[in-house]
């Protein structure tokens, strides 16, 4: 009996030593990799007189709603070089990505900083997080058994271990495969129907009419994806596409995207999107339709239907399962639970600011020019982190109170700024940089 205990003790000790060596080796490899990547060349060769500024954010940074060359980062660069460009040169990089979230921004931060190697970073992010809940870096149900284990003291310690992360990746891969099999069994009849529809959707229709319909869809996509979006023309082309070929589900999808993507989308506009997506799914249940349908259901708080549509989407796109593991395990967060969304955004911004400061990069946080919901919240996040802040919303409110104000002077039809609106944002950012003494 004693020999058995000795063997068990030796085995456990050997395993512990092996894990410690593996952890040390992984830490060393990570340090070497970081050191190697730290010497990546920047986008441009610049001397000490050049100040590089990167603007990270979403479509408001990208410049949706304005003509090319008139996003706020591009206009800011022109202002800086005109007003401050004596002995110094300013380069402002536009790293805005339409649809970006605080979780995605944080995930890609290291790559962005290696690419641009900035002296100053301007942040404008958060409005899309409530629309892409699958990407949130937070737990939806912190009281679930899974999340309690992850957030416990041993769980937090283990989560810092590189060996544990590798083991967790293996476990996650197994979980993904199990979910894939489970969903395939549950929705076997649906998958057969989807396959039949994909094969038969063009049967009985004239090829010339189908080509005419697809031509109208391409035109609608051009109107919808343009820098200055024309939703009315896009909808008109979609209706022509459906008249030519009623089974053209792409036309239904574009109209649904327009309803869901409206500035401050109302319950009525989301309901309109749901009707369009349901009609299209009845014609042929395709993955891109179901991807928007589950999101629309979730936005309306219809979580049972959202779960059903999401599972059907994942049956058709099993490679997307890893992105949705939090929802599959824990369910959806309440659609009106701004506390959950804001907690995630606050945590992500806090980690982003800490990473920037660790690299000695100056940072400014901004709020949106048109959105009251996030204006005060982002101000609170900036104050809590002692971060310089640009209050665009207050500036635009003052403009709205002036005599002769017209909203279309500063905003495009879809709610983004236009050339003039982004010029105001660029001037706000310039004044903030001057106030901080960073020029």
Q: Write out residues in the chain with pLDDT < 70, as ranges.
A: 1-2, 5-7, 9, 12, 15-47, 136-169, 171, 262-264, 333-338
Determine whether 17 is exposed, middle or buried from the number of CB atoms within 10 Å of its CB (0-12, 13-18, 19+).
Answer: exposed
CATH code at position 257: 1.25.40.10
Please indicate, yes or no, whether residues 272 and 198 belong to a single structural domain of this protein. Answer: yes
Using CA atoms, how far residue 18 sits from 5, 32, 94, 163, in Å, is 20, 21, 46, 11
Residue whose tokens read 């982003």: 352
At 141, list the tokens: 């149900």
Closest residue by Cα to residue 300 from 261, 268, 278: 268
The residue among 279, 299, 330 that closes a domain is 330
- How many structural domains does the chain have? 3
Distance of CA 31 to the CA centre of its chain: 29
At 226, list the tokens: 């343009």
C-alpha span between 264 and 60 (Å, rounded): 15
Please indicate, yes or no, whether residues 31 and 64 belong to a single structural domain of this protein. Answer: no
Q: Is residue 415 part of a domain?
A: yes
What residues are paired with 185 via a beta bridge? none
The pLDDT value given to residue 125: 95
The pLDDT value given to residue 57: 96
The per-residue pLDDT for range 61-74, each reduced to its tens digit, is: 999 999 999 999 99
Q: Is residue 195 part of a domain?
A: yes
Q: Is residue 150 part of a domain?
A: no
Please indicate, yes or no, whether residues 207 and 321 belong to a single structural domain of this protein. Answer: yes
**Residue 26 domain boundaries:** 1-39
Please indicate, yes or no, whether residues 373 and 390 belong to a single structural domain of this protein. Answer: yes
The pLDDT value given to residue 38: 52
At 51, list the tokens: 């100040």
Please indicate, yes or no, whether residues 188 and 323 belong to a single structural domain of this protein. Answer: yes
Please indicate, yes or no, whether residues 309 and 384 belong to a single structural domain of this protein. Answer: no
The residue among 302, 330, 358 that closes a domain is 330
Q: Is the dihedral of CA 231, 236, 237, 241 positive or negative?
A: positive
Please indicate, yes or no, whether residues 120 and 191 belong to a single structural domain of this protein. Answer: no
The residue among 265, 297, 330 that closes a domain is 330
Q: Is residue 154 part of a domain?
A: no
Please indicate, yes or no, whether residues 59 and 115 belong to a single structural domain of this protein. Answer: yes
Question: At residue 359, what are phi and psi to the nearest 5 degrees?
Answer: -90, 5
Q: Is the dihedral of CA 64, 69, 72, 74 positive or negative?
A: positive
């Amino acid at each position: 009996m004693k020999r058995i205990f000795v063997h068990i003790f030796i085995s456990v000790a050997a395993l512990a030593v092996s894990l410690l060596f593996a952890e040390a080796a992984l830490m060393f490899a990570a340090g070497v990799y970081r050191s190697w990547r730290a010497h990546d060349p920047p986008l441009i060769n610049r001397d000490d007189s050049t100040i590089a500024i990167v603007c990270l954010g979403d479509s408001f940074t990208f410049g949706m709603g304005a003509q090319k060359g008139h996003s706020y980062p591009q206009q800011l660069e022109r202002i800086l070089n005109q007003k401050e460009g004596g002995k110094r040169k300013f380069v402002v990089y536009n790293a805005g990505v339409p649809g970006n979230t605080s979780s995605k921004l944080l995930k890609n931060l290291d790559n962005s900083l290696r690419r641009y190697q900035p002296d100053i970073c301007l942040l404008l992010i958060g409005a899309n997080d409530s629309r892409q809940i699958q990407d949130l870096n937070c737990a939806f149900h912190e009281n679930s058994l899974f999340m309690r284990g992850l957030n416990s003291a041993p769980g937090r310690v283990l989560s810092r271990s590189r060996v544990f992360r590798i083991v967790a990746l293996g476990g996650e891969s197994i979980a993904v495969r199990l979910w894939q099999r489970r969903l395939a069994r549950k929705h076997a009849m649906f998958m057969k129907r989807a396959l039949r529809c994909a094969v038969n959707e063009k049967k009985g229709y004239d090829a010339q009419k189908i080509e005419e319909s697809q031509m109208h869809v391409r035109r609608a996509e051009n109107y919808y994806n343009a820098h200055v979006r024309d939703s009315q023309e896009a909808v008109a082309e979609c209706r022509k596409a459906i008249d030519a070929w009623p089974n053209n589900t792409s036309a239904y999808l574009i109209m649904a995207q327009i309803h869901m993507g409206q500035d401050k989308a109302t319950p009525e506009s989301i309901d309109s999107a749901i009707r369009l997506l349901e009609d299209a799914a009845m014609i042929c249940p395709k993955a891109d339709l179901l991807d928007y349908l589950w999101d629309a259901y979730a936005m309306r708080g219809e979580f049972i239907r959202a779960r059903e549509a999401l599972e059907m989407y994942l049956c058709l796109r099993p490679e997307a399962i890893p992105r949705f593991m939090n929802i599959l395990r824990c369910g959806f967060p309440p659609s009106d639970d701004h506390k959950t969304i804001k907690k995630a955004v606050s945590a992500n911004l806090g980690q982003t600011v800490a990473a920037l400061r660790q690299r000695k990069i100056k940072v400014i946080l901004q709020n949106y020019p048109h959105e009251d919901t996030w204006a005060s919240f982002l101000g609170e996040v900036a104050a809590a982190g002692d971060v310089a802040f640009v209050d665009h919303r207050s500036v635009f409110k003052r403009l709205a109170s002036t005599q002769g104000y017209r909203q279309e002077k500063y905003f495009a039809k879809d709610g983004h700024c236009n050339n003039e609106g982004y010029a105001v944002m660029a001037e706000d950012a310039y004044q903030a940089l001057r106030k901080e003494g960073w020029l």
